[in-house]
């Protein structure tokens, strides 16, 4: 499913950041859980969003809880809104 809101965009950023922090390649994730690298790339680049089952699998691979990923995405969304607000004030 395509991200239809700002949260989906923030989620994609977080998924990529956590994967890179864990030093995992898309190929390694495929080898562990058989999630195609194109699918994960689509999630990370906001073309589509993972369903809960897929998000749970990724969290398991990354060694974090789904709630951690969601809270990080919420924080990213808040940060983006603050940045937008600051940019408007500076105009």
Query: Model confidence over 39-90: pLDDT tens digits?
Result: 999 999 988 989 999 999 899 989 999 999 999 999 988 887 766 565 566 6
pTM: 0.78
Is residue 6 very low, low, confident or very high in pLDDT (cuts 50, 70, 90)?
Answer: confident
Spell 19-54 as b/e; 16+ CB within 10 A means b. beeeebebeebeeeeebeeebbebbbebebbbeeeb
Query: What pLDDT, on a 0 to 100 scale, did the predictor assign at position 81?
Result: 73
């Amino acid at each position: 499913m395509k991200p239809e809101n700002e949260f989906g965009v923030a989620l994609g950023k977080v998924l990529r950041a956590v994967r890179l922090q864990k030093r995992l390649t898309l190929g390694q994730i495929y080898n562990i859980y058989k999630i195609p690298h194109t699918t994960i790339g689509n999630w990370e680049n906001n073309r589509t969003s993972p369903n809960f089952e897929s998000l749970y699998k990724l969290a398991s691979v990354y060694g974090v809880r789904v709630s951690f990923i969601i809270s990080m995405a919420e924080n990213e969304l808040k940060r983006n809104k603050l940045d937008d607000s600051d940019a408007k004030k500076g105009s």
